[in-house]
Amino acid sequence: MGLVQYALRRVIPALITFLAVIFLNFLLFHAMPGNPFALLLRDPRMPPEMRAKLAHAYGLDAPLQVQLLYYIQNVFSGNLGISLVYKVPVTVLVSERLVNTLILVTPATILSIVIGTAIGTLAGWKRGGKFESGALLSSMFVYSLPAFWLGMVFIMFFAVMMGWFPTSGITSYGMQYEGPLAYLSDLGAHLFLPTIVLTLVLLGQYAIIMRSSVVDVLAQDYILTAKAKGFEETKIIRDHVFKNALLPLVTLIGLNIGLIVGGAIQTETVFSYPGIGRLVFESLATRDYTVLEGAFLAISVSVIVANLITDLFYAYLDPRVRH
Amino acid sequence: MYAEKFTIYRKQFGALWDVFRANSLGMIGLIVLATFVIMALIGNFFTPYETAGVGTFAEILNPPSWAHPFGTDDVGRDVLSQVLKGAGVSLLVGMLAATISLAVGATIGLLSGYYRGILGIVLVRFTDIFLIIPALPLIIILAALLGSNIWNVIFVIGILGWPGTARIARSQTLVIRELPYTLRARSLGASEHHIILRHVLPGILPLLFANTVLVIGSAILSEATISFLGLGDPTRLSWGTMLNFAFSRGALFAGAYWYVIPPGVCIALIVLAFTCLGYALDEVLNPRLRKS
Amino acid sequence: MKISFLALCLTLLFLVPVNAQVATTPYGGTLKVGWITEADTLNPYVTVTIQSFNVFSLTYDTLGKYDQNMRVVPWLASSWDISPDGSIWTFHLVKNATWSDGVPLTAADVKFTYDFVTLNKIGTAASYVAGIQSVQAPDNYTVVITRTPPLTAGFDGTLAYPAFPVLPQHVWEKIAPDQILKFENIPIVGSGPFLFDQWKRGEFLSLKANPNYWHGRPYLDGVIFRVFKSFDTMLASLKTGEIDVIPTEVPALTASSLTSDPNIKVTTSPDYYTRIFTPNDNMNGTGNPALRDARVRRAMQYAMDKNLLAQTVQLGLADVAVSYIPPAYGIWHNPNVQPYPFNLTTAAQLLQAAGYTDPQHTGVRSNAKGVKLEFNYWVLNRWPEEMRAASQVQQWFAQVGIKLNVQATDGDTITAYNYPVWKYDIYFWGWRVGPDINRRLWVLTTDSVTAQWSASGWSNSTYDQLYDKQLHTLDPDQRKTIIWQMQDLIQQESPEIPFYHMKNIAAYRIDKFAGFISMTEGILSEINIGSWLSVHLITPEQATTTTGMTTTTTAPDNTPWIVAAVALVIAVAAIGYTAMRRRTASKD
């Protein structure tokens, strides 16, 4: 079938997952006994007219099923409530922070994929050698590092002791920049350490996956055929091994986006980077449940969308899966 | 009859062990793990210093010395003793949480693979959904909503670690389901109950075992992260809470590297041990990856 | 005539150099202050945070102010006369004060400020108008306050605390009575040295200098209170110069690591701030009933070594609390209160005597009615040092048969379970109500329970009577006796167990601004208006006449990261290149 038809078919499970997340959110925040919304009614920060508004919008006096419908309706109309702490709409807060997170996560993911796949391919190609064991062991070690700890160590050495980088934030506060270059330079200085940390933490799994993928492909018959035919090694790698080994990697990248999220949350917390990961942590600490709920929803949606994209990319690369 | 079975198992195990021994990665993992088990035992039964509560003013944030090889922390407690004790906590939490994941994941995976009807489809979708939903935010939220004591943390980590196990359980179940001896048992009229318990379950266990070892590693990492974020019990020692206090009390700014480095290195190494073991076991039990 | 002309010239000659010196103190600069706790609201009748009082002290005026010796001296009222019996106070206001919207400040505003509270029965401000029979404004700049006998002590304190500033009649009289507590009060219309600029919740609150301030405009162009989520970020910002001052609550452990920086000064001052172990004493509450028994509370006192905690957790920078009232309160502080020495055996005996036993050695005592000595203990998550202390308290308690479940939580949760539901066991809190001893004593009265200010929900009629008596005792020695007696009673009943009286620890940069004046509560507290008006830029070169966020932060040196990034790119490219070359060269 065509790519478009396949895409449409994949959208439906994604939508189901989205609804499942909404339901999960509802369960956690509205339905569980001792749930936050029950606490909200007693929250001293809640102005009375807001309480009435919320009670009406969420139908807090209505039976649970009705509340669920209210919630679904709210989500689809883009109303995620108001932050208890910041007193601004949750959607505004969440989108600001999401952009910041993307600025951090995108270069880190790209770098980690590039470096990880390179190491993994090489390790898979040179099976049985010292390089393979060494690369595998170091990839596993890096994969085992807690992201928050790596961040702490980097801050301690490079920011505090050496003073080469700022210790936190996204830009220096209250700065007036002479021009866009100065702004970018400040931004870069703040982004450097967190990006390195996130890259390191992610590349391990890509290297490991790529290696086993390459090993799998190398065992296939068509490779032996190509070798028997006397093709050059680089040609074999480029034309056959790499592309075919990439396929499972793409799927696995999609499934492991959760790891990227986890890494981002930890990195942002340690570096006080104002992204959506840190928002989860902050809103938890301040019991800002409307924001927490909204942030979780936003993260889940991003992951679902990213997953969908990788699915489609996989289908684009390998037409065989389209039915 | 049992004596025969025992000898067969012993021979099978012996063969596997030989393969395993040749796998250098696995051996490294085993050795590192053994080291941590020893550390945990020492930490549990004999630590030179008290680790609970607070120490004295003179001992706050002392750099490493003969008396304190890893220095002291923000309240004057010996870091090395805490590191030793923390090993036991990590191992305990990891294994308990992984057991929960195994139980839940194996059940769901097996059932979703065995039953093709509505139940199977629903379970598969359910698994897929939880595979996609990012784990850490959900763990954080649940840990916060349920309260910060160690049992809640173990429960939450365990409950959210099942999708990967379920997927493996399912794919293996699908294979075993179609194997000749399963089909034979069915045609002979064996009950589903019997088939699942006697044929499928033992068949998927080896790969699940390899996977569970990996899950232990990831559970330990999750516990460390939760404790670092302050969602664990602040009075219960773990490597994660050590790092939490190091961070929140300004050890970074004080340059107290002896307080920051050891707990993190230990977390990394113990997770590495389980990861190496898991991959080695996977290689041993998965013929395609075995070196020819 | 000639001589007086000569005298005039000579006088002028003297004056000129003095004026020239004064003129060299530059105007300008925006002071950036770090807040770890943010103001909750800018409505003076609703707020509970001291940060709000900080803002009020800068945007409003009070009739008097505290000088460095903690005496109330004239301020908005340039003088006052007191009748011999003390019941009639006549205030003479300055004549050039104006509100930020241009309307002149007159005696009518002062009269309105008092009448407003009485008329609308605003509970939180009741203590400021207590005992006042009438407030008259015979002319635009004279206010006569008539107090009813029996007169209350400490009246002058009510004139000087920014929680009760002079409010503009033309703004507040328009508010309907049921809207008063909901009034946001943004922008603040005030008469103070600074004007309200903007407030972006969770980020910053900014003020600009009031050029028409009756006392003369402040040297600073503006103030920005920047909100931080965690202390380490705030500390980092101080070190890089992104903020200039952290005026309070610098943790002890961090303070010691700051002293090595030559550009940062750390000061400690006496403070009225106590950190308190607060059990739920409310008889109608749903906390563990064992806590309502004073014997249990006394036993807990014996089971805690506050000296050790003050040393190890607060690094000796806090004073161990014996009396509930900090020494900063001067003569009102009772230094003779009997301390509870740390003695676990005594603690265990007292628990036994109170009927709590553990015959089966479970580790937790219980009494005949089945009440177990197991308590939930809440500690603020922004005080990691107190969580450390809590784990030690947990250890001590375990040795006498009390099980303490320590939980980290936030201030709002504690408040939500505090009043009016009284649904908690024990939490660790801090009391900071300023220099007014009446206010400090009031928080343990039954009235404070109904007013939803009490932290422990304790109610004791003897204490209430003593409070009322000292309130109406004008003779300082007699009043002192009663107040000392109250402290003994508090120690005896232990409704709240103070751990330490915190010192104000502040940290500020000395390379940009000067003129910080230290007094009780620190360099830039809500009562230190003198310091706020004295802080100025160091050199004239850095002065500027523009308002707004002028910054003297030097741009951070960003070359390291650019170098590192380029190096990284080269490294990755090199790896890739050699890898490709190796592939072509090697054989399978």
Note whether C236 contacts B253, CB cutoff 8 Å: yes
pLDDT of residue C114: 95
pLDDT digits (tens, 9 = 90+) for A57-108: 555 666 777 778 878 888 888 888 878 777 788 999 999 999 999 999 999 9
Residue whose C-alpha is closest to residue C48's, from C399, C517, C417, C433: C433
Query: Which residue on chain B is closest to C256 by alpha carbon?
Result: B254
Distance from CA of C242 to the nearest CA of A (A): 6
pLDDT digits (tens, 9 = 90+) for C323-350: 999 999 999 999 999 999 999 999 999 9
Give the neighbours of chain C: at least 3 Cβ pairs within 8 Å.
A, B
Which of C12-16, C23-27, C234-238 is the most confident on average? C234-238
Which residues of chain A from 169 to 188 reach within 8 Å of chain C, CB to CB? 169, 172-176, 182, 185-186, 188
Tell me the C-alpha distance between A85 and A287, whole Å: 9
Ranking C246-260, C437-451, C491-505, C562-576 by mean pLDDT, the lowest is: C562-576
Tell me the C-alpha distance between C1 and C564, whole Å: 80
Neighbour-count burial of C538, counting CB atoms closer than 10 A to its CB (0-12 exposed, 13-18 middle, 19+ buried): middle
Tell me which H or E stretch contains A279: helix A276-285
Residue whose C-alpha is closest to residue C255's, from C271, C240, C268, C242: C268
Percent of chain A with pLDDT over 90: 18
Residue C252 — very low, low, confident or very high, per pLDDT cuts 50/70/90? confident
Please compute the mean of the pLDDT values over residues C387-415 and round it to a whole number. Answer: 90
Residue A81 three-state SS: coil
Tell me the C-alpha distance between A261 and A202, whole Å: 11
pLDDT of residue C199: 92
Tell me the C-alpha distance between A166 and A185, whole Å: 12
Which residues of chain B from 126 to 185 reach within 8 Å of chain A, CB to CB? 128-129, 131-138, 140-142, 144-145
Please compute the mean of the pLDDT values over residues A149-169 and round it to a whole number. Answer: 85
Residue numbers in A near C39 (CB within 8 A): none
Q: Which residues of C touch A (CB under 8 A)?
A: 32, 40, 182, 201-202, 224, 226, 229-230, 232-233, 236-237, 240, 242-243, 381, 410, 412-413, 415-416, 421, 549, 551, 553, 555-556, 558, 560-562, 564-565, 568, 572, 575-576, 579-580, 583-584, 586, 588
User: How many other CB atoms are found less than 10 A from the CB of residue A78?
Assistant: 8
Distance from CA of B247 to the nearest CA of A (A): 8
* pLDDT of chain B, 292 residues: tens digit per residue: 677 777 777 777 777 776 666 677 888 899 999 999 999 999 888 888 888 889 999 999 999 999 999 999 999 999 999 999 999 999 999 999 999 999 999 999 988 888 888 888 889 888 988 888 888 898 888 887 787 788 888 998 998 889 889 988 988 888 888 888 778 877 887 777 777 787 788 888 888 888 899 999 999 999 999 999 988 888 899 999 999 999 988 888 888 999 999 999 999 999 999 998 988 888 777 655 444 3
Tell me which H or E stretch contains A30: none
Query: Would you say the ipTM is above 0.85?
Result: yes
Tell me the C-alpha distance between C12 and C288, whole Å: 76
Q: Is the pLDDT of residue C5 over 60?
A: no
Residue numbers in B near C391 (CB within 8 A): 52-54, 234-235
Mean pLDDT value across chain C? 87
Distance from CA of A239 to the nearest CA of B (A): 23
Tell me the C-alpha distance between C357 and C160, whole Å: 52
Residue numbers in B near A252 (CB within 8 A): none
In chain B, what are the helix, strand and coil shares in percent, each to the nearest 5? 75, 0, 25
Pairing of strands C374-380, C403-409: parallel
pLDDT of residue C587: 39
Residue C30 — very low, low, confident or very high, per pLDDT cuts 50/70/90? very high
Please compute the mean of the pLDDT values over residues C76-91 and round it to a whole number. Answer: 93
Residue B22 three-state SS: helix
In chain A, what are the helix, strand and coil shares in percent, each to the nearest 5? 80, 0, 20
Residue numbers in A near B247 (CB within 8 A): 152, 270
Tell me the C-alpha distance between C570 and C382, whole Å: 43
Residue whose C-alpha is closest to residue C246's, from C528, C67, C548, C37: C37
Distance from CA of B17 to the nearest CA of C (A): 30
Ranking A13-22, C158-167, C532-541, C578-587 by mean pLDDT, the lowest is: C578-587
Nearest by CB to residue C575, choosing from A118, A173, A287, is A118
C537: tokens are: 């830029």
Neighbour-count burial of A88, counting CB atoms closer than 10 A to its CB (0-12 exposed, 13-18 middle, 19+ buried): middle
Ranking A102-106, A113-117, C369-373, C532-536 by mean pLDDT, the lowest is: A113-117
Report CA-CA distances (Å) from B282 to A126, A245, B23, B27, B289: 20, 19, 11, 14, 8
Question: pTM score, two decimals?
Answer: 0.86
pLDDT of residue C584: 47
Ranking C95-99, C201-205, C340-344 by mean pLDDT, the lowest is: C201-205
C257: tokens are: 């690591």
User: How many other CB atoms are found less than 10 A from the CB of residue C204?
Assistant: 20
pLDDT of residue C91: 96
pLDDT of residue A59: 57
Q: Is the pLDDT of residue A5 over 70?
A: yes
Distance from CA of C234 to the nearest CA of B (A): 11
Mutation test of the interface with chain C: which of A173, A191, A203, choosing the one with the most C Cβ atoms within 10 A?
Answer: A173
Query: Which residue on chain A is closest to B256 by alpha carbon?
Result: A156
Residue A45 — very low, low, confident or very high, per pLDDT cuts 50/70/90? low
Ranking A5-14, B11-20, C262-271 by mean pLDDT, the lowest is: B11-20
Nearest by CB to residue B134, choosing from A147, A258, A284, is A258
Residue whose C-alpha is closest to residue C264's, from C276, C256, C274: C256
Residue numbers in A near B267 (CB within 8 A): 144, 146, 149
pLDDT of residue A39: 62
**All residues at 6 or more sequence positions from C454 whose CB lies less than 8 Å from its CB, including other chains:** C419, C443, C444, C445, C448
Tell me the C-alpha distance between C233 and C86, whole Å: 51
Residue whose structure tokens are 């079938």: A1
Please compute the mean of the pLDDT values over residues C20-29 and round it to a whole number. Answer: 69
Tell me the C-alpha distance between C346 and C353, whole Å: 10
Distance from CA of C39 to the nearest CA of B (A): 23
Nearest by CB to residue A168, choosing from C236, C421, C562, is C236
Note whether A272 contacts C230, CB cutoff 8 Å: yes
